[in-house]
Structure 1
Amino acid sequence: MKSITRRNFLKAMAVSCAMLTAGCTSKDRDTQNGPKGAEDAEKWVKGVCRYCGTGCGVLAGVKGNKIVAVKGDPDCAVNKGRLCVKGILLPKIINTKDRVLHPLIKKNGEFVEASWDEALDLIVSKIKESVDQYGPDSIGFYGSGQTFAEETYVAQKVIRAGIGTNNIDGNPRTCMASAVAGFMTSFGEDEPSGTYADIEEADTFFIIGANPAEAHPVLFSRLIDRKNSNPDVKVIVADPRKTRTGDIADYYLEFIPGRDLALLNSMAQVIIEENLINQGFIDRHTEFMKGTDKLSFDAYKAFLQDYTPEKVEAVSGIPAQTIREVARLFAAPGRKTMSLWCMGLNQRTRGVWVNNLVHNLHLLTGKICSPGNSSFSLTGQPSACGSVRETGGLSHILPAHRLVANAKHREELAKIWGIDPARMPSKPGYHTLAMFKAAVEGKLKFLWVMCTNPGQSLPNLEYYRPGMEKTFMVVSEAYHPTRTSELADVVLPAALWMEKEGVYGNGERRTQHLAKAIDPPGEAKPDLEVLIEVAKRLGYEELVPFKTPEDVWKEYQRCQEGTAMQLASYDRLRKEHGLTWPVPGDDKPETYIRYARPWDPYVKEDAPDGIEFYGRPNGRAVIWARPQVDPQENPDAEYPFYLTTGRILEHWHTGTMTFNVPELKNVVGEMYVEIHPEDAAGLGIADGDEVDVISRRATCTLKAHLNGRGRPRKGLVYVPFHDQVKERMINRVLLDAFDAASKQPEYKVCAVRLQKHQA
């Protein structure tokens, strides 16, 4: 038995404390002792947590028509009974004073209750009027990574094959689009090759642009379990702001915001220079590209000479020796490496490129497509993957990862839907920011927003909100008023979470069924029922021959036939606790690792080393030469600080759910601005002072936190984006520049100045 040194003991204590601050229960607490209210439950119903993309399995305790308790599902591989604090308190989001119970129509500037017939007749008449007068592209639908897969599938089918436009997009555009494009351009297929099971196999974790301690706490607890299980497990965290995740790091890289492309290129340069590459893997499974041009290995090596650690130290702020050490640790022979990232890389004007550069490190070292070796993008919403990326919920994609612009793909869908392919529009529609800009400009006449809150969540809000007010807008939502529903013309009361049946798909390709546990309150209805009814009233009965969510799923399964994205049947999903696709048949196992045998059935038997990146024409993944490009807006003399935004443990997105939970609101009732103490001192700002955060677009006033849970580097300030109060809605301040490839906005970096607020 190894002796425990004081250093190791203190490190283990720090790790344990980090897990507690992540707000997680132990694996067995909820399943053995039971959460509060569990003793009253008459039955337990299987579902999935309503919050982040981790996809924790839950069991909802039901008494009468009320969910009285929630506990972790011990049979779900994601969490094995463990939940974070938000999951434990899920019952509190259901019966709240701001639940919408009846349809509402705005008349003379005020909302009045209406019947469903009146509301639906108005919606249908406005759609027909807009199409008749302005054409189908005057219609827009904005969905969500929080809807069920069946809902988005039906919505995109009606919008495309019925109305005849591709103007359907969703909030995953603002959080995951660059990850999608990164996977597609590197591997030819969307979504990770590995799963969460790699956490228990990895020896080195490289975390960049993510704070799982607060944003994905159950996954963070698994990572901590892995670190505690083996003293040789190491964690590298790269972040301009020291977070609770950074507290467990063996190497913490505090870089200048936006300079992570240079860091990743520098790590690649060291890996090649010190011959830490896997030459056989490179030769058999990769090719090199820059733009549209193929490169030789030598040309790529020459490109990296601009990114030696000494050169990158000067631009990133990370010591050259530290860059060398983490590159060696990442590439070390015999060690398994898992990279994890989230919005910090995606929400950038070069988000696709920086995603590619993470994949590069795995391809250069061959640390991919085997247990513990994975480049893994964390997901922000419970079904951004399963309900948008997979079902065709963005303006340029179709179900099962098909593309709008691909004639063959449109024909395949038209055949399944039994329509003339000519009914399928070939031009991609408005992406998120283009859609809301079209509303501002008067080009969009009708907008349906479902299960999301763009009136609070879009960047540069002061520009976009007037467009939402001007356009005839329908909002399907469980809560009212929100910062979006207040601008609506019609608000439809939506069933919430386990008040309906459906399917989620989480960040590890896991498809999970949620059973209906209770009836929705008042006249609230599942969004699927409303979509089908509107389609019928528009005359598209043949497109919606569905009576149940399972009927939708059966047709959706046909869309996956012939692809490497096959999903399990509804019957099997009801019985199982989630399955990672592809699942090529109900008598076949789920897939742990893609692109590699023996796990992935779509890899050819004669593939070299049993590995094939079959999404690419030649079966090879791409190692990209992507140069450092700074963010769109950088500090200057007038606006000398970087601003970045993110989430905290207690709240989620725009707070429509979590601010209804007293225990969460009492802990953090309003958002704040984190400032480095030396920056604050220079401005005469003390902890708790009100501070104006001013950009070229707007001003927010928030209380200063100088020694809070996060510690930004000098010159950087941080604000969580959950607050609903206008003066603290930080997205008003943000820039709305976006990545040209993914169309994802650059939430993470803009320039601001600070001043002590004068009342």
Structure 2
Amino acid sequence: MKFSRRDFLKAIAVSTALAGSGCSFGSGSRGAQGTTPQHDAEKWVKGVCRYCGVGCGVLAGVSKGKIVAVKGDPDNPVNKGRLCVKGILLPKIMDTKDRLLHPMVKKDGQFVKVSWDEALNLIVAKFKDAIAQFGPDSVGFYGSGQNIAEEAYVANKLFKGAIGTNNIDGNPRTCMASAVAGYVSTFGEDEPMGTYADIEEADVFFIIGANMAEAHPVLFSRLVDRKNSNPNVKIIVVDPRRTRTADIADMFLQFVPGTDLALLNSMAYVIIEDNLVDRDFVSQHTNFMQGEKKLTFDEFKAFLADYTPEKVSPLVGLPAEQIREVARLFAAKDRNTMSMWTMGLNQRIRGTWANNLVHNLHLLTGKICRPGNTPFSLTGQPSACGSIREVGALSHLLPAHRVVANPKHREEIAKIWGIDPARMSAKPGYHTIEMFRAAASGALKVLWVVCTNPGQSIPNLKLYREGMEKTFMIVSETYHPTRTSELADVVLPAALWMEKEGVYGNGERRTQHLAKAVEPPGEAKPDVWALLEVAKRLGFGDLFPFKTNDEIWEEYRKCASGTKMELSTYDRLKKERGLTWPVHDPNGPDTYIRYAAPYDPYVKEGIQFYGKPDGRAVIFARPHANPQEMPDADYPFYLSTGRVLEHWHTATMTMNVPELKRAMPEMYVEINQADAEKIGVKDGELVTITSRRGQCRLKAKINGRGQPRPGMVYVPFHDTEMSRMINFVTIDAFDDVSKQPEYKICAVQLAKA
């Protein structure tokens, strides 16, 4: 059965309607979902969707050793039986023509099948040689928010604890690092205080820099349900591009790209001017800061004098009265307000500041730490929180939200790992952009890439692909060739999804167990097995005695014990549909809202932002700042990139699903109608997009599902064809706090090809 693009857009609306009436996609009936009938499955195995950070529960239907069907888990509180079209079609990513079935080594420029022993011995020899000649910082690891937590934990311990380098980073650096930096700088601890349950309690939704309808469709359906259930619910969408998410908005603010700092400050100005501040909350629970300088309320108010709606209006491209209206709706004292955002705020050189300013609005109004009142960062990958942020698998982190620069934190983890703290480096390792620059310069001699595709996903791609060819690179991958594995020296066949067991942590702090449903094909093995094998062959076997995932998890739980991030036992996770940490009592309840009694077990009364020494959150004075690269006479357009409903990340999985590929076989460039007329381009004609770094050629899409404002173009980043890979064009400038690259904005020129 063929899917059209129209079918997929209908699927969003249909999924919302069916779920609202008690039905669910993936329930086993044959139809537009493309699933196999339930009666063909011999058993159903509990798991979690492989794609975005929503963390939808699934039941995988198994027959004759194969996953033949997937349905939404009706008992999982995240999705309550719903799945988006990608989730429904998960069985089709399992047995594909490009599945990597055996280890491969590049010899004389060609990949040759080898045994696991030969591949592992070569990897170990390269690690030993590099460390002996150039020291531990000559090697590195690049992981993923798609790893299970056990894989990330073992990799972190291997590199930071055994080898002694902090050169371990991952692709969440490119998508969620500014959200991390925003939470930590404002509240002292990472991750949201609220959960998805706040959707059903909120009256106002402030969605900025997020296209939930396509990037988080099941969560979007919950939002639509909430709006349909109560005519007083209002949805505000703030985006320079009109999207399917904006179609349900009561207010849509199509602002000039890169001006959201000014817009958010202007909203704060209106909240203060109109006396919508919760003065008691602010005085009891917040501090005002500008950099390291403490401010008074009146000094903060004076700082905002430059951001009156009238002054900001020409910059942001919105009427002053519209700014006032949205600020008043956000701050209305008889309403609960939930903010949601993702890459539109994060992928910026001032992404940390943008996150701070959203938090400011909630703190000024006291709309926080109460049901339906929360600033909520949406997560892009299935375990970016659980396997990276919580495990500490970034170059500056240690498990349970500790940091490598803190000697007390190093001592605590060293004790659990059974090593001398002196073995651990106090210096943060290479973050993502630094890591691939080090590969290009020759400073990084060996790099192990697991479960991700930087050969397609890194910005300013030409420079970094050349660097990947220079370093000795190991790639653990399910599919081959990808745009990364083609550059590798060794490729290891990785078990996929429910071919192994493990734990994911989603965007609401929910820790969920995936059971193993089937055996991996050929000689493919779980990445945790390969990591443990390399650890043993490097001589660190005494530090890695693990025989099962349970044992790995229980050691990791010790890292969280005594912190405010306590985790559930493995046995309990196997039985339940996830638990939102902290789980203070192993047999007790999980936590709905952090920092607030009676929900948070660490707060006896009221609200306490215990990540800060004085228990107070910070309201930051952050000025407007332009993106790194602004349009000019030579490069007159803003370029932004993002997702579409049908595909996910670099499409290594979704392009293997015939229905998804037919519906969206290649990416395109969205151009505003007026701009298209100026450059003489019609819908479907080829356009060359050029930046100071590179170019690509794509078909024009005019008046499609997304409509950028004049002066802006938009390109989905999923395309695997070299001539259409937009990251040859994007900029590698990054936020100096979070180190997250500015994918969302750079300057380009357009020409009819």
**Is the shorter-chain TM-score for this pair beyond 0.5, marking a shared fold?**
yes
Code of the aligned partner of 1:163 = I
Code of the aligned partner of 2:81 = G
For residues 272-294 of structure 1, what are the alpha-carbon distances to aligned partners after superposition, in whole Å with 9 as ceiling and x for unaligned?
00000100000000000000100
Distance 2:651 2:229 in 1: 36
Partner of 1:744: 740
Matches within 5 A, 1:258-657: 258-603=258-603, 605=604, 607=605, 610-657=606-653
Code of the aligned partner of 2:704 = G
Partner of 2:3: none
Q: Matched residue of 1:643: which SS?
A: strand
Partner of 2:23: 28
**Post-superposition offset of 1:437:** 0.1
Q: Matched residue of 1:623: which SS?
A: strand
Distance 1:98 1:110 in 2: 17
- Conserved? CA contact 1:24–1:82, under 8 Å: no
Q: Matched residue of 1:329: which SS?
A: helix
Partner of 1:88: 88
Distance 2:537 2:38 in 1: 44
Which TM-score applies when normalising by structure 2? 0.97
Gap change, CA 1:60 and 1:350, over 3 Å in 2 = same
Code of the aligned partner of 2:681 = I
For residues 403-448 of structure 1, what are the alpha-carbon distances to aligned partners after superposition, in whole Å with 9 as ceiling and x for unaligned?
0000000000011111111111110000000000000000000000
Partner of 1:161: 161
- Conserved? CA contact 1:24–1:217, under 8 Å: no
Matches within 5 A, 1:58-73: 58-73=58-73
Distance 1:405 1:434 in 2: 18
Aligned-pair identity (%): 70
- Conserved? CA contact 1:19–1:224, under 8 Å: no
Gap change, CA 1:290 and 1:283, over 3 Å in 2 = same
Gap change, CA 1:290 and 1:576, over 3 Å in 2 = same
Distance 2:340 2:319 in 1: 22
In structure 2, runs of 5+ residues without a counterpart are: 1-8, 30-34
Partner of 2:116: 116
Distance 1:152 1:232 in 2: 44
Code of the aligned partner of 1:302 = A
For residues 668-687 of structure 1, what are the alpha-carbon distances to aligned partners after superposition, in whole Å with 9 as ceiling and x for unaligned?
00000000011000111000
Distance 1:567 1:619 in 2: 23
Partner of 2:696: 700
Q: Would you say how many aligned residue pairs link Structure 1 and Structure 2?
A: 738
Q: Does 1:734 align with 2:730?
A: yes
- Conserved? CA contact 2:27–2:71, under 8 Å: no
**Post-superposition offset of 1:98:** 0.3
Corresponding residue to 1:658 among 649, 654, 657: 654
Code of the aligned partner of 1:753 = Q
- Conserved? CA contact 2:15–2:24, under 8 Å: no
For residues 166-185 of structure 1, what are the alpha-carbon distances to aligned partners after superposition, in whole Å with 9 as ceiling and x for unaligned?
00000000000000000000
Q: Does 1:675 align with 2:677?
A: no
- Conserved? CA contact 2:596–2:607, under 8 Å: yes
Code of the aligned partner of 1:258 = G
**Post-superposition offset of 1:19:** 4.0
- Conserved? CA contact 2:687–2:752, under 8 Å: yes
Partner of 1:6: none
Distance 1:24 1:490 in 2: 48
Q: Matched residue of 1:105: which SS?
A: strand
For residues 523-559 of structure 1, what are the alpha-carbon distances to aligned partners after superposition, in whole Å with 9 as ceiling and x for unaligned?
0000011101110000001211100111000000000
Distance 1:22 1:51 in 2: 17
- Conserved? CA contact 2:16–2:225, under 8 Å: no
Distance 2:625 2:18 in 1: 42
Partner of 1:172: 172
Aligned-CA RMSD value: 1.1
Gap change, CA 1:433 and 1:565, over 3 Å in 2 = same
- Conserved? CA contact 2:276–2:332, under 8 Å: yes
For residues 297-347 of structure 1, what are the alpha-carbon distances to aligned partners after superposition, in whole Å with 9 as ceiling and x for unaligned?
000000000000001101100110000001000000110000000000000
- Conserved? CA contact 1:23–1:85, under 8 Å: no
Distance 2:16 2:433 in 1: 34
- Conserved? CA contact 1:18–1:213, under 8 Å: no
Code of the aligned partner of 1:241 = R
Q: Matched residue of 2:287: which SS?
A: strand
**Post-superposition offset of 1:22:** 7.5
Code of the aligned partner of 2:629 = E
Code of the aligned partner of 1:641 = F
Code of the aligned partner of 1:57 = G
- Conserved? CA contact 1:288–1:622, under 8 Å: yes
Which TM-score applies when normalising by structure 1? 0.96
